[in-house]
Amino acid sequence: MTLILGIDESGRGPVAGPLVLCGYMIDEKKVGELKKYGVKDSKLLTATKRERLFPKLKRLADNHHAVTVSAAEIDSLRTISNLNKIEIEKMQYLINRMKPDKVVIDAPEVKTDNFAKKIRQKLDAECVIVAENFADKKYPEVGAASIIAKVIRDREIIKLHKKYGNFGSGYSSDPVTIAFLKSWLKKNKEFPDFVRKSWITAQLMIIERQQTKIHKFVG
């Protein structure tokens, strides 16, 4: 039996909400079943389809584990690191925890061979590592990891909506997110904990708020 671990994330880029990384491990002989399920990159599936696949994928897996990194943790870690290094450490944790024979990773860096070398540096045991850009589109096991990560993040966003109000998807390209953040900052001294304050989007809003205050004071 050859155990393959697919690793992918959801929520790498948004200004609001957590980053979720998932390791999805499956016997190589069962990968064909993932294809029958219609598993692919989570972004190519509707939310309804992802939710339907979620329990099926968990049952089919030999093992699966997700790591959720909060906005506050990301901000804290970025004072001494960067997002790629944060992801590498979480991926190493998943590999060491799950002990696969082979790992397939959706690499966030263009130089994939170099990325694979970084992953190997802190592994407890040897295993085959395949690191590719857009691996979630090519490898069903990575697609499965992306679906589980996306469902977990979406559920976290729904919880946050219920607590704080609808702030959209959390991405800087989302007008609802931007409108919410600007409105929040007008009424409060700082952003809530689920916002990545170290993100350029948040930083620019803070600077704009400070400049507006100065202009009002001078005026």
Domain end point (choices 127, 143, 161):
161
Q: Which of 138, 161, 184 is the last residue of a domain?
A: 161
Could you tell me the two tokens for 5? Answer: 């671990």
179 and 126 in one domain? no
pLDDT tens-place string over residues 6-34: 999 999 999 999 999 999 999 999 999 99
Residues 136 and 206 in one domain: no
Q: State whether 35 and 51 are in the same domain.
A: yes
Same domain, yes or no: 57 and 132: yes
Which tens digit of pLDDT belongs to each residue from 165-210? 999 999 999 999 999 999 999 899 889 999 999 999 999 998 887 6
174 lies in the same domain as 104: no
First to last CA, the chain: 74
Which residue among 161, 179, 209 closes a domain? 161
Answer yes or no: are the C-beta atoms of 195 and 16 closer than 8 Å.
yes
DSSP output for 101-112: SEEEEE-SSS-H
Q: Quote the pTM value.
A: 0.92
Give Cβ neighbours of residue 118 (< 8 Å, ≥ 6 apart).
88
CATH of the domain at 196: 1.10.10.460
Residues 91, 170 within the same domain:
no
- Are 24 and 141 in contact, with CB atoms under 8 Å apart? yes
* Same domain, residue pair 139 and 47: yes
Report the alpha-carbon angle 133-39-53, nearest 5. Answer: 130
CATH number (domain holding residue 45): 3.30.420.10
Domain with 195, as residue range(s), is 165-218
User: In this structure, which amino acid lies at residue 60?
Assistant: L
Q: How far apart are CA 26 and CA 28, in angstroms?
A: 6
Give the count of domains, the chain.
2
Q: Same domain for 178 and 137?
A: no
Give residue 1's pLDDT. Answer: 87
135 shares a domain with 54:
yes
One domain for residues 169 and 107: no
**Is the Cβ–Cβ distance between 105 and 136 less than 8 Å?**
no
Looking at the structure, tell me whether residues 105 and 125 fall in a common domain.
yes
Q: Which tens digit of pLDDT belongs to each residue from 47-61?
A: 999 999 999 999 999
Q: Are residues 149 and 46 in the same domain?
A: yes
